[in-house]
Structure 1
Amino acid sequence: MARARGLGLLLALLLPMVGASRPDTVVRLNKEVLSYVAEAGKAPLQRALQVTVPHFQDWSGGVFQPTRIQILNVHVPHLQLKFIAGFGIHLLAATNFTFKIFRVPEPLHLMLPMALLADTRVSQGSIGTPVVSVSSCFSLFDKAIVLDGHNSTAPALLAPLQNHIKAVLQNKLCLRISNLVQGFNVHLGTLIGPSPIGPESQVHYSMIDTPTITNDYISLNINAVLFLLSRPIVLPVDTTPFVLPQHVGTRGAMATVGLSQDLFDSAILLLQKAGALNLDITGQLKSDYNLLNTSMLGQLIPEVGRQFPEPMPLVLKVRLGATPTVTLQTNNATLRLQPFVEVLAPASNSAFQSLFSLDVVVNLSLQLSVSKVRLRGTTSVLGNVQLTVASSNVGFIDTDHVQPLMGAVFEKPLLDHLNALLGMGVALPHVVNLQYVTPEIFVYEGYIVVSSRLLYQR
């Protein structure tokens, strides 16, 4: 707990410095999620309502006799949660308490039906998490039912006994509801925990304003900050906030998550700053299918053949200068890379000499998927790789002749490298033990939407 509070304080101080006032992610929890939470919440609620009932002072024989009361079972056959527009969530639980009254000469068994009602407010916490608080809570009791059939012994005792139980439960049950909600808030606090992207990078999510609540959903505006070596990735300021339209995604989904263009731009910028998009492609002479050598290149560039009469392996040093761009259009996501590629060959002194360099443009199709909580990507090349000679130490280079060879030795290693990076994925907003199930992804102009069921597993 101390660690969580310390992290929360750090984020509260840090996030405003990196432009946390503008959302780039919107999480919309639809009313369908309330049915799932209600069903999953029955067992915890039943356990929480197992309170201790103090002895009942039974007036018998002119003196008070303490009578022990034990709750044998709490059953919640019906639990309903509903959004209260502009406020929070309403809870209605139909509950049956079974009591054992330790009377002499034989115990008495009672069932007490009860309706438990509570209104909870959902607000923004000081460290950027949703906070739920109980604003009102009360119980409605029905008449107690004698279960063991000894009605002749019960009437004189039943009314005062039931009043005693009601008075106890009125005080204790709402306190237990409040404690249950506080435990839920601790769980909601895991929303702001760091989620690793790679060995030196993380993403931090935080809620930036009070949730929007309608009769159909609760919507959280969330700021996502990516960190590289503890430094935030900061984009140029854009005054246009991201707003998730009303009717997007799959109808009936529990969660609708909107991810703006900014989040993708931040992720790509992080990869560039980390140098993760750079790679070296090395030819191997002993390979059965090796095109990356001086002999193959010499057939296209005569000067290479003259300088290297014996086959030598080549190295392509791929370095990313210009920032990659992600474009999100309806039903279409693309990634554009503009690497600088230097072609090197071994020199006599065991060093490498530069033969020529190329400015390259690669357009890629970006396919997105979600696994558990991580958004992952894979790429494929769109069209031909575009080459322009930047410099040459081997005379004139006809790019039309070099294009097929460079495409063959460049495309597959680049795709393998990119797909390994994008396959690590970025965690979507989530709390501990929560997963996205059967997600569907929709690409719109400037943002994507993940529509999904949710699964909570301890």
Structure 2
Amino acid sequence: MSFTSPSLTDPALRVRPHSTLLQQYKIRLDMVTLWCVLTLLSLHSLEASGTNAGVKVRVTEKGLEYGRQIGIAALQEKLKSIKIPDLSGTEEVSPIGKVSYSLTGIQILNLGLPSSAVGLVPNTGVSLSIIDAYINLHGNWRVKYLRIIKDSGSFDLNLGGLSIGVTIGVKRDDTGRPMVSSTGCTASVGHVSIKFHGGASWLYNLFKEYIDKALRSALQKQICPLVNEAVDEMNPQLKTLNVLAQVDKYAEIEYSMVESPVVSNSSIDLSLKGEFYNIGQHKEPPFSPTPFSLPPQDSNMLYIGLSAFTPNSAGFVYNNAGVLSLYITDDMIPSSSPFRLNTKTFGAFIPQIAKQYPGLMMKLLVKTVKEPKIVFEPNNVTLQASGTVTAYAIQPNATLSPLFVLNVDASVSAKIYVTGVKVAGTLTLNELDMTLGTSYVGPFQVKSLDNVFRMILKAVVIPKVNAYLEQGYPLPAIGKMNLINTQLQILKDYMLIGTDVLFS
């Protein structure tokens, strides 16, 4: 009987100098390819534990594509601020002899990443590839030869055919959070061309090929170490992800993975614990998740399946916390109601009450006797609850005199919806069955009170519960992630949320 008080969160109901070219190539796989790749992978890659998942998450190819678009756009802006290190060297140039050269003050004029792709590597993680990238730069050159002769000028440098490929693996760190690392990287610079301005053209044309070689070598040596470093630098961001999401002062929900992510050719599937706990006390409920599988769908970026286990674990937690109870007094009854919570009104149904306790106000205590149970059936969510209603007469000195105790079983329908990055719900009373537990005023017909208690549940208890449920409970998320184009389906034993994602 879902008179589970405002505390019921049954929501049924995240080169240094030479470190140039990619130094900030922190491969802005952060944000979204960080999202796609890992965001959801950010919901923790724990080792297999053999425990069934309460929540499952699927990142589709559409989700990865969104990550690529944002990641590449961010990467392009980042690369524009790269500082190319000064380069210098000495080469033997016939017939002059040794020529010392230096390239300094190199600045980016233009940068393009026209072709990139993100893909899935089965059983491993995600791959990112960039091809035909180009960078146009401008800088200064200086040479010295024959020990005393110096010359200088400016140059334009074009890097073309730049390609990078990296594979990112994900595993669990010792805090239960995801940790990423590069499991493979390749990089190459297709061509480097320089056009010199000023100075003696015959001279710099002689050592031009050496400059090309030096730039190509310097860049290719830097790229993969920098990409690996960029991947490692995602880990501090991943450490900001909450292993536990606090719901309120009573409960928190855990989204750690119960097995390694399953990476296929078309999606990344994550199995999360999805279990409510009392804050600071992780006691397991006397039930476990029913195995379920997400159906093949790919029209959205992200799919989240929440089994009935998750809200049922919430019921267990709140029942353990002793907060599934509610005192009802007359001032909580709508003023328009002809029914008042006093011995006169109840005396009309139970004459003994009016005779033994004339002219007194009453108080009701509604509480559960065990955790409520939620059931998901196709297009239907019901909540079964068992509880008691204890009626008291309020004496002039404020002491309470017990009148009777009713055993109550109720069936409630729940409407579930997504709001922001939370799941929320509202309840509607379906069926109510009451039997007499204890009477302190003699025997009476419980059936006569049926309409009275239906009114109390509908007018007082359920609105209180709904006000709480409307606050929702958090879904797995990372950073400033918003859900858009969201659809929710109720299936057998779980609900399925299909959604696209937008990062603000």
Which residue, 181, 202, 213 being the options, matches 2:252?
202
The alignment partner of 2:265 has SS state of coil
Aligned to 2:394: 346
Structure 1 unaligned spans of 5+: 1-11
Task: State the Cα deviation string for residues 127-186 of structure 1 (Å, max 9, x = none).
Answer: 433333212222232334568999x78754543323222212112222222122122233
**Cα distance change, pair 307–237 in 1 and its aligned pair in 2 (3 A):** closer
The alignment partner of 2:176 has SS state of coil
1:54-453 alignment runs, 5 A limit: 54-57=86-89, 62-68=98-104, 70-72=106-108, 73-94=110-131, 95-103=133-141, 106-113=153-160, 114-144=162-192, 156=206, 158-236=208-286, 238=288, 242-247=291-296, 251-284=298-331, 287=335, 289=337, 291-310=340-359, 312-382=360-430, 384-453=431-500
Identity of aligned residues (%): 21
Task: State the Cα deviation string for residues 241-263 of structure 1 (Å, max 9, x = none).
Answer: 6342342xx53211112222222
TM-score (structure 1 length as normaliser) = 0.85
Tell me, yes or no, if the aligned pair for 1:58 and 1:67 is still in contact at 8 Å: no
When structure 1 is superposed on structure 2, of 395-404 and 273-282 the one drifting more is 395-404
Tell me, yes or no, if the aligned pair for 1:292 and 1:409 is still in contact at 8 Å: no
**Cα distance change, pair 193–328 in 1 and its aligned pair in 2 (3 A):** same
Task: Give me the whole-angstrom Cα distance separating, in 1, the residues matched to 2:225 and 2:140.
Answer: 26
Task: Give me the whole-angstrom Cα distance separating, in 1, the residues matched to 2:471 and 2:233.
Answer: 32
Aligned to 1:28: 58
Task: State the Cα deviation string for residues 202-222 of structure 1 (Å, max 9, x = none).
Answer: 122212332111110111222
What is the one-letter code of the residue matched to 2:171?
S
Task: State the Cα deviation string for residues 293-320 of structure 1 (Å, max 9, x = none).
Answer: 222222222222323443x332110111
Tell me, yes or no, if the aligned pair for 2:101 and 2:141 is still in contact at 8 Å: no
Task: Give me the whole-angstrom Cα distance separating, in 2, the residues matched to 1:380 and 1:287.
Answer: 22
TM-score (structure 2 length as normaliser) = 0.78
Task: Give me the whole-angstrom Cα distance separating, in 1, the residues matched to 2:449 and 2:137.
Answer: 86
Aligned to 1:8: none
What is the one-letter code of the residue matched to 2:245?
S
Tell me, yes or no, if the aligned pair for 2:301 and 2:501 is still in contact at 8 Å: yes
What is the one-letter code of the residue matched to 2:352?
E
Tell me, yes or no, if the aligned pair for 1:53 and 1:71 is still in contact at 8 Å: no
Task: Give me the whole-angstrom Cα distance separating, in 1, the residues matched to 2:484 and 2:356.
Answer: 59
Task: Give me the whole-angstrom Cα distance separating, in 1, the residues matched to 2:291 and 2:205.
Answer: 65
Task: Give me the whole-angstrom Cα distance separating, in 1, the residues matched to 2:196 and 2:84.
Answer: 22
CA-atom RMSD, angstroms?
3.0
Task: State the Cα deviation string for residues 56-94 of structure 1 (Å, max 9, x = none).
Answer: 337686531322152415432333101122222221113
Aligned to 2:503: 456
**Cα distance change, pair 323–54 in 1 and its aligned pair in 2 (3 A):** same
**Cα distance change, pair 432–35 in 1 and its aligned pair in 2 (3 A):** same
Task: Give me the whole-angstrom Cα distance separating, in 1, the residues matched to 2:323 and 2:483.
Answer: 28
What is the one-letter code of the residue matched to 1:99?
L
**Cα distance change, pair 261–233 in 1 and its aligned pair in 2 (3 A):** farther
Aligned to 2:71: 41
Tell me, yes or no, if the aligned pair for 1:26 and 1:222 is still in contact at 8 Å: yes
Q: How many residues align?
A: 436
**Cα distance change, pair 288–330 in 1 and its aligned pair in 2 (3 A):** closer
Tell me, yes or no, if the aligned pair for 1:25 and 1:242 is still in contact at 8 Å: no
Aligned to 2:27: none
**Cα distance change, pair 274–99 in 1 and its aligned pair in 2 (3 A):** same
Tell me, yes or no, if the aligned pair for 2:417 and 2:423 is still in contact at 8 Å: yes
Tell me, yes or no, if the aligned pair for 1:197 and 1:426 is still in contact at 8 Å: yes
Cα drift, residue 335 of structure 1: 0.8
Cα drift, residue 20 of structure 1: 7.6
**Cα distance change, pair 291–348 in 1 and its aligned pair in 2 (3 A):** closer
Cα drift, residue 198 of structure 1: 0.9
